[in-house]
A = this chain, B = another copy of it.
Amino acid sequence: MENRADGQADERRALALASLIGVDWGSTGLRAFLVGTDGLALAERATSRGASTLSGKEAFAEVLEQVAGDWMRARPDLKVLACGMVGSLHGWLDVPYAVCPANAPALAAGVAVTPNGEAHIVPGLLYDDGELPPDVMRGEETQILGALALRPELQGASCIVLPGTHSKWAQVRDGEVQRFATHMTGELYAVLRQHSVLGRLMESGGGFDEAAFNDGIDAARVNGHLGVGHQMFAARTLGVTGRLPAAALADYLSGLLIGHELRAGLAWRGEAGLDQAPLALVGSRELCRRYELALRRYGDVPSLALDNTAPAGLLTLARAAGLAPN
């Protein structure tokens, strides 16, 4: 009972101090925050009601009410600002992409409001140089702005890497996202493990096999010219021939795929003249740890790793859009 009373007192304090109700609303889940003046989350709630699980615009309003209705009634002066797939064609509102290069004011200029005014929604970001195929993100642009707000030393020139199902690599100069590239590493790993011949020999359990992971990284780093479509077959042959135990094959494949992402991503960063600039990892601790290990194999050390930068990014955008006090 005491804990519950403490929790209620904490939430009252958080409500009193908050500048914004921020929502990071992706395909598969939603996190809502009371965001303080420093860009950190004073309170946080999560649900699995992601944009891809909802149909009909009313469903979005209902979920927002369930998750944050009490916050909105307690502080009717606070605005709600959401980022992520909530702003896509199959989301709450189809918000057109902002275009690279883009900084916080440019993204803020694209913020749109839902028809009944329940929430404001951040645009996604498009990179299109007219030559290469275009690239898109929704949600990560806000996490990037959050990283820049929390760590101003990244604003001048940096490379920001957001590992995940679809990893994003972003080149930043003068507070602008100049260019970015998506790598489908996480999804590739998942579909190969669940649906290809490579998953058949793999056994789970036994924890993270760092040696097998490093072997995968090194295969990409040293022999990546042989092609990832060839090298991934080793996640079968190393098992068939007894070179690696079944419990190690998944981490070998993970290392190989992350290794190929780094092989391409680090060269891309170098071509942009950013190899001396800070490299920041933004994402869950477990995934950032894998990328840190992989970067070290490449002789590169990430300058910093940040978790949950969405609240800071949402506050930055809310201020730039006049939706939160400066």
Contacts and interface: CB of A to CB of B under 8 A. Distances in A.
Interface of A: 126, 128, 132-136, 166, 181-185, 187-188, 191-192, 194-198, 219, 223, 225-234, 237-238, 240-241, 243, 257, 260-261, 263-265, 267-268
Contacts of A185: 229
Could you say which of A133, A241, A260 has the most chain B C-beta atoms within 10 Å of its C-beta?
A: A133
Could you say which of A185, A196, A225, A234 has the most chain B C-beta atoms within 10 Å of its C-beta?
A: A196
Given A134-B237, A194-B195, A238-B134, A184 B229 contact: yes
Given A225-B264, A226-B268, A260-B227, A237 B191 contact: no
A237 B97 CA distance: 12
A195 B191 contact: yes
Contact of A134 (B187, B198, B241, B261): B241
A230 B183 contact: yes
Given A187-B197, A219-B133, A238-B133, A264 B192 contact: no
Main secondary structure of the interface of A (DSSP, over half): helix
A187 B232 CA distance: 11
Contact of A225 (B126, B133, B267): B267
A57 B198 CA distance: 25
A183 B234 CA distance: 10
Contacts of A263: 227
A234 B136 contact: no
Nearest 9 pairs of A and B residues by beta carbon: A227-B264, A133-B234, A182-B233, A191-B195, A191-B191, A183-B229, A195-B195, A183-B230, A134-B237
